């Protein structure tokens, strides 16, 4: 069904409440951003934008900030960072206001894409009543992340990824091309959208999307390579250690009160723990990420994602699992990384009403992730300074947050396996009571 056919008066009326809640919550967040309402630490909202502004000034002179150790982003990030300066020259807005406007517009686009997906779900389920669970989840998730979601460019990257996940054009060929280009552009801006390729179907459409992803990444990159320092991020990124909020850093934080001689220092734009074994574990993080992605490739082979078996539910679910693997195995786990999760879990939940007929299998992990996101602002910025200064309570809190992220990832991976890749006997011989719990969570009638 086309978007024009979906835009009925009844649909628009049904979307008024989630839209009003989006507008209210974003209004509150922008009051924090502009310091109309005092925030816990306003500098944590504006700090990265100040850095982007400095970088944009360097980029406008035709080269990358190659001598700045905090520049650790792919070449495509220059496009997003430079865009507010272009808006500034056209409108007279400050760089800060132009950046916040770009972030807010990206947030609105993601919200509208989730609403659109909710409408399509209602059509696929054959019902007039639209379930806006995914839209409400997205609105709440970003609100719980806090105002610094608009002080980072991650929300713009999430918008690019959401376009590649949601938008369906008139032909399957055009849709595959759009998906590929969106994944490719997102990858050269902040790498993680490349994880979405694991959910592409086998066959012609999947190969076409992959080819266009390569083109979408390669063409802008080749143009940006003409600027000096375009690949300097590789050196800066390779020198990074264990950021104190990352999953693999938590054992070292917990060991400090027990006599471990580790220090916390500000390096490469983040607070890292430095001591015996940390450099080896930082290297091991890359191996863990590779192993996680190898598991996904094995899962793809077992799942046999032929065009007949492939659904958008598979696409969203695999995307969420892949991104969660990259987050929990990363050397860095900044709070803004959870913005990536906000868009993906909202899209998964927008499919929940479909149940096993093309819906998500990750309802439970999505709710666990929402619960984890709800404590984000307690971890950062409230407890971040105590964590830097060696607070045991702050270290225990971060450990608990990371344990929840790991649990959600393992749970999601298990559900993905049992639904699509486990032997048929394992999928069909589960007790009826177990299957009814899953169906109830997805809003589908139980089996008698």
Q: Which residues pair with 271 in a beta bridge?
A: 266
DSSP, residue by residue, 296-315: HHHHHHHHT--TTT--HHHH
Q: What element of type H or E holds 243? A: strand 242-243
Q: Which residues pair with 274 in a beta bridge?
A: 263
The tokens describing 433, both together, are: 């009571």
Helix axes 16-33, 133-145, angle to 10 degrees: 10
| Residue 407, phi-psi category: left (phi > 0), alpha (psi -120 to 50), beta (remainder) | alpha
Residue 70 is predicted with a pLDDT of: 86
Residue 425 is predicted with a pLDDT of: 40
Place of tokens 């947030």: 107
Contact criterion met (CB below 8 Å) for 135 and 115? yes
| Spatial CA neighbour of 75 closest among 234, 241, 214 | 234
Determine the Cα–Cα distance for residues 408 and 195; give it in Å rounded to an integer: 17
Radius of gyration of the chain (CA): 22
Read off the pLDDT band of 436 (50, 70, 90). low
C-alpha distance from residue 258 to each of 262, 280, 392 (Å): 11, 21, 11
Read off the pLDDT of residues 191-243 as tens digits, 9 standing for 90 and up: 999 999 999 999 999 999 999 999 999 999 999 999 998 888 877 677 788 99
Average pLDDT over residues 100-111: 98
How many CB atoms neighbour CB 90 within 10 A? 9
Contact criterion met (CB below 8 Å) for 420 and 365? no
Residue 438 has pLDDT above 60, yes or no: no
DSSP, residue by residue, 80-92: HHHHHHHHHHHH-
Residue 432 is predicted with a pLDDT of: 46
Q: What element of type H or E holds 162? A: helix 154-166
Backbone dihedral angles phi then psi of residue 270, each to the nearest 5 degrees = -150, 165
Residue 307 is predicted with a pLDDT of: 84
pTM comes to 0.93
The tokens describing 291, both together, are: 């192993």
Residue 8 is predicted with a pLDDT of: 82
Read off the pLDDT of residues 243-287 as tens digits, 9 standing for 90 and up: 999 999 999 999 999 999 999 999 877 899 999 999 999 999 999
Q: Which residues contact 43 (CB under 8 A, 6 or more apart)?
A: none
Contact criterion met (CB below 8 Å) for 426 and 338? no
Contact criterion met (CB below 8 Å) for 347 and 316? yes
């Amino acid at each position: 069904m086309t978007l024009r056919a979906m835009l009925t008066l009844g649909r628009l009326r049904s979307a008024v409440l989630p839209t009003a809640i989006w507008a209210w919550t974003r209004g509150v967040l922008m009051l924090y951003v502009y310091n109309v309402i005092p925030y816990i630490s306003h500098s944590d909202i504006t700090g990265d934008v100040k850095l982007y502004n400095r970088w944009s000034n360097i980029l406008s002179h035709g080269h990358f900030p190659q001598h700045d150790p905090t520049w650790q982003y792919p070449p495509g990030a220059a496009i997003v960072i430079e865009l507010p300066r272009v808006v500034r020259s056209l409108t007279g807005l400050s760089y800060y206001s132009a950046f916040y406007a770009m972030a807010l517009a990206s947030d609105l686009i993601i919200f509208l894409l989730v609403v659109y997906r909710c409408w399509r779900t209602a059509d696929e389920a054959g019902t007039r009543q639209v379930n806006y669970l995914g839209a409400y989840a997205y609105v709440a998730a970003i609100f719980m992340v806090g105002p610094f979601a608009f002080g980072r460019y991650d929300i713009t990257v999430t918008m690019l990824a959401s376009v590649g996940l949601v938008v369906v054009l008139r032909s399957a060929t055009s849709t595959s091309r759009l998906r590929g280009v969106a994944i490719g552009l997102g990858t050269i801006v902040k790498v993680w959208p490349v994880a979405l390729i694991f959910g592409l179907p086998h066959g012609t459409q999947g190969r076409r999307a992959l080819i266009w992803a390569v083109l979408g990444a390669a063409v802008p990159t080749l143009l940006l390579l003409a600027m000096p320092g375009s690949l300097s991020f590789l050196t800066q990124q390779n020198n990074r250690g264990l950021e104190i909020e990352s999953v693999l850093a938590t054992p070292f934080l917990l060991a400090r009160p027990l006599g471990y001689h580790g220090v916390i220092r500000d390096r490469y734009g983040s607070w890292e723990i430095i001591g015996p074994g940390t450099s080896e574990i930082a290297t091991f993080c890359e191996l863990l990420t590779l192993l996680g992605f190898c598991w996904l490739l094995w899962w793809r082979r077992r799942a046999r994602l032929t065009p007949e078996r492939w659904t958008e539910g598979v696409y969203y679910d695999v995307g969420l699992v892949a991104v969660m693997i990259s987050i929990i195995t990363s050397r860095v786990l900044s709070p803004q990384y959870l913005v990536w999760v906000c868009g993906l879990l909202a899209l998964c939940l927008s499919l929940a009403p479909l149940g096993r007929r093309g819906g998500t299998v990750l309802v439970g992990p999505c709710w666990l992730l929402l619960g984890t996101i709800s404590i984000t602002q307690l971890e950062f910025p409230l407890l971040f300074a105590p964590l830097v200064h060696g607070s045991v309570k702050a270290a225990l809190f971060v450990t608990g947050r990371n344990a929840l992220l790991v649990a959600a990832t393992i749970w999601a991976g298990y559900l993905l396996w049992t639904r699509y890749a486990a032997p048929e006997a394992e999928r069909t011989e589960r007790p009826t009571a177990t299957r009814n719990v899953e169906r109830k969570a997805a809003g589908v009638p139980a089996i008698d």
